[in-house]
Amino acid sequence: MASRRTIDLGKARRNFGALLDGHRYRWTELWLLLLPAAFLIISVLELAIVRTQPQIINRQTLPPLDTFAPALGLIAALAVAHLALNIFAPDADQTLLPIAGTLASIGVIMATRLGPDIEQKDLGAKQLAFVVVGLIICVVTVRVTRNLGWLRNYKYTWAAVGLGLVALTLVRARSFSTDAPSRDVLSIGLGTGGLTFQPSELLKICLVIFFAGYLSENQEMLALARFKVGPFALPPLKHLGPLLVMLGVALLMIIGVRELGLALLIFGLFLSMLYVASNRPMYVVTSLILFTIGAVAAFGIFSYARARLDILGSAFDPAVEPNQGYQIVQGLISFASGGVFGSGLGLGSPTVTPAATTDYIAASFGEEFGFAGVLALIGLFLLLVYRGLSIAAQAREPFNKLMAVGLTAVFALQTLVILAGNLKVMPLTGVPLPFVAYGGSSLIANFIIIGLLLRLSEADT
């Protein structure tokens, strides 16, 4: 153990020496970090000008320097994370941190802008604190996962930890109802100040580690199809069984706390990882058929799911009960009000829509940044998914490949589900928009994923 620590310290010293000499410095990442820095400075300046509404902009009417403290604080946090990556992971992907930093900057600016309108003036400061903590945990994740073997070897432990946390919320809920969703049941109080935590955010990561470890070990057997069930060919049950049991337990627990959006997310990442591991489209078809059967059963059990689907189809029907589809309608009006280039940061009325800082943060952003801004936001998520899949494609180890696919699928599916819900394409679920929606649990979990992807990108360089 002592020799291993000596090797690690020696590597860190060499990386630090290379940093001082300018060799292997992450210059691409440094230049890309100018994007969130510029966005923060310009946005804070615009918000300050809009709120003070000076008739003439001159040196006297410009906002004081302390107005830029939150922006400068986040820029400093990104700079420190950048320097830490030069020491701990100099060969890791250089685009992940700038992309995540830009998305997180959008989240901080939107929380700062929306907070006063919903009588929470410190909302932006809280979001900034969550981002700083997330960046710290991201760097710590990169540091402690320098050896990915312990993640793979303890896959069942990680799955048990994730399921145990969600089981704890079931015990704390003390009640079960099929008439209403209860996303808040997933929250665990961490003190008297109202600080909460959603174990489901960590459950996603734990299940990705388990699926990656199990699928990589049984990849060859899963690719075989010797067990016939009617027209379907399946692998031996002893290899497929543990995987289905773990997936079933996770989905049952999520249904127990009535978070069907999270169930959809978990099933989606399982499906993507299973397809990559087996390269058999029939598994996808069979899984989708089973999921459809389960969805129909859930639709019959949960009355609130039927109500949401009814609202989705008749939100604009004048015959429905007044305000029944208020949130959906207001969200669509927010998108439409933004036009092509938006009403301008601080000049719209996004808080008319309920949950403007969480479930409908995309609509709030669209009203003030317009269609062009929404396209840019989607482009950032597409870049994030592209980089994650590139890491998976370049991975030499099956475990690394599958883990990169699963972690990237979390971002892709969350973004797809919440944007589709905002646009009335599918019923709205409580899945947060990564990095942008207000909330500490989601932000920290997302930065853990970024840290794991950074380590996976360096592991195969």
119-132 residue pLDDT tens = 888 899 999 999 99
Helices (H), ranges, 302-325 = 303-314
- The model's pLDDT over 33-80, given as tens digits with 9 standing for 90+, comes to 999 999 999 999 888 888 777 656 666 666 666 678 888 999 999 999
Mean pLDDT (whole number) for 180-200: 53
State the CB neighbour count (10 A cutoff) for residue 79.
Answer: 13
The answer to whether residue 192 scores a pLDDT higher than 80 is no
Contact 214, 242 (CB under 8 A): yes
* DSSP designation for 92: S
When computed from its CA atoms, the radius of gyration of the chain, rounded to whole angstroms, is: 23
Compare 454 and 152 and report the one with higher pLDDT: 454
Question: What is the pLDDT at residue 228?
Answer: 59
Helix axes 260-278, 237-256, angle to 10 degrees: 160
- Using CA atoms, how far residue 220 sits from 225, 235, 267, 280, in Å, is 10, 10, 22, 12
Asked whether residue 404 carries a pLDDT value surpassing 50, the answer given is yes
* Torsion region of 249: left, alpha or beta (phi above 0 gives left; psi -120 to 50 gives alpha): alpha
Which range has highest mean pLDDT (160-174, 234-248, 368-382, 415-429)?
368-382
Distance of CA 32 to the CA centre of its chain: 21
Report the C-alpha gap between 139 and 82 in whole angstroms. 9
Question: Is the separation of the CB atoms in 432 and 357 below 8 Å?
Answer: no
Residues 26/90, Cβ–Cβ less than 8 Å:
yes
The confidence score (pLDDT) of residue 69 equals: 81
Least confidently predicted of 87-91, 301-305, 349-353, 444-448: 301-305
- So what's the pLDDT on residue 97? 97
**Given this model, what pLDDT does residue 295 score?**
65
- CA–CA distance, 199 with 206 (Å, rounded to integer): 10
Q: Determine the Cα–Cα distance for residues 38 and 404; give it in Å rounded to an integer.
A: 30
| pLDDT > 90? residue 218 | no
d(CA 186, CA 253): 11
pLDDT (0 to 100) of residue 280: 78
pLDDT number for residue 433: 93
Report residue 8 as tokens.
């690690």
Query: How far apart are alpha carbons 171 and 186 in whole angstroms?
Result: 10
Alpha-carbon distance 375 to 435, whole Å? 16
pLDDT at 93: 95
Side chain identity at residue 229, one-letter code: V
User: What confidence score (pLDDT) does residue 436 get?
Assistant: 95
Round to whole Å and give the CA distance between 419 and 377. 11
**Partners of 313 in the β-ladder:** none
The more confident residue out of 438 and 295 is 438
Token pair 């989601």 in the structure block, residue: 442
Q: Over pLDDT 70: what percentage of the chain?
A: 71
What per-residue confidence (pLDDT) applies to 302? 63
Mean pLDDT, rounded, for 453-461: 85
Q: What is the mean pLDDT of residues 234-256?
A: 67
Confidence of residue 193 (pLDDT cuts 50, 70, 90): very low
Amino acid in position 46 = E
List Cβ neighbours of 345 (8 Å cut-off, separation of 6 or more). 43, 46, 47, 50, 109, 113, 368, 369
Residue 19 identity (one-letter amino acid): L
**pLDDT at res. 15:** 56
Q: pLDDT of 9-28, one tens digit each?
A: 555 555 555 555 555 789 99
Average pLDDT, the chain: 80
- Give residue 323's pLDDT: 55
pLDDT tens digits, residue range 150-183?
888 888 898 888 888 777 766 665 544 444 444 4
CB atoms within 10 A of CB 307: 14
Amino acid at 251: L
Cα dihedral 108, 123, 349, 43 sign = negative
| pLDDT > 90? residue 405 | yes
Torsion of the alpha carbons at 258, 259, 261 and 267, rounded to the nearest 10: -90
Gap between the Cα atoms of 384 and 446, Å rounded: 12
pLDDT in tens, 357-386: 988 999 999 999 999 999 999 999 999 999
pLDDT for position 100: 97
| pLDDT for 250 | 67
Residue-wise burial string across 182-200, b where 16 or more C-beta atoms lie within 10 A, e elsewhere: bbebbbeeeeeeeeebbbb
Give the per-residue pLDDT at 253.
61
Q: Is the dihedral of CA 367, 370, 373, 379 positive or negative?
A: positive
Lowest mean pLDDT among 94-108, 133-147, 157-171, 173-187: 173-187
pTM of the model: 0.86
**Cα–Cα distance between 106 and 353 in angstroms, integer?**
19
Q: How confident is the model at residue 189 (pLDDT cuts 50, 70, 90)?
A: very low
Per-residue DSSP letter, 358: T
